[in-house]
Amino acid sequence: MKDQGHSFTFDLSEYLPFQMSVISAQMFGDVIEDAGLQMPEWRIMMALPSNQPCSSHDLCILTAMDAARVSRAQRRLEDLNMISVIRDKADRRRLVVRLSDKGSVEVSRLKSEAQAAESKMLDTLGPEDRAQLKTAIGSLFDNL
C-alpha cells in the first residue's frame, strides 16, 4: 500500500535507544547466554550480592523490571539452584531472595566476564570520550 502523502522516514540505525539496545546485546549477549541465562535472570544475579537478603519487590526496583518478569526470572533461577526464595516469617506475603552457594560462584564468574566485556568496549574510546559517555549515560539513567 502506497503512503498517502505522509512522509514517514525513520532511520532506526540512528535511533539512540535502538543503538544502546544493540550495543548491550552485542556486548553482553554471549556472557549471559554462556551461563544459560536471560537478561532478567542476569540482572537479578548481579543485584543480589550487595542487596541480599532482598524481597521480590525490592528486586523489581533494583533491576528496573516489573513484578511478573521478576517472578518468572526468580522461578527459573530457583530451578537452576542459583537462588533460594522463602516466605518471610514476619510477613507471609513477602518473599525473601538469597543467592545459593552455586549462585555466588556463578556471580563471581559473571561479574568478571561482564567487566571484561565492558572494558573491551570502552577500550575503543579514548579517556575523554569514555568519561563523557559514562557521564551522559549516568544522567540519562538518573532521569528515568
In tens, the pLDDT along 34-63 reads 888 999 999 999 999 999 999 999 999 999
Separation CA 105–CA 132 (nearest Å): 34
Residue 133 lies inside a defined structural domain of this protein? no
Please give the residue range of the domain that contains residue 72: 30-113
Residue 38 lies inside a defined structural domain of this protein? yes
* 3-state SS class at 105: helix
Q: How many domains does the chain have?
A: 1
- pLDDT score, position 4: 60
pLDDT (tens digit per residue) in 117-138: 889 889 999 999 999 999 999 9
- pLDDT score, position 15: 93
Residue 124 lies inside a defined structural domain of this protein? no
Residue 129 lies inside a defined structural domain of this protein? no
Residue 94 lies inside a defined structural domain of this protein? yes
Does residue 3 surpass a pLDDT of 70? no
Mean pLDDT of the chain: 90
- Residue whose cell numbers read 503512503: 3
Does residue 93 surpass a pLDDT of 90? no
Residue 121 lies inside a defined structural domain of this protein? no
Q: Phi and psi at residue 43, in whole multiples of 5°? A: -60, -45
Residue 140 lies inside a defined structural domain of this protein? no
Q: What is the chain's length?
A: 144
Q: Which whole-number Å values give the CA distances from 5 to 1, 2, 8, 45, in the listed order?
A: 12, 9, 10, 50
CATH number at residue 88: 1.10.10.10
Residue 36 lies inside a defined structural domain of this protein? yes
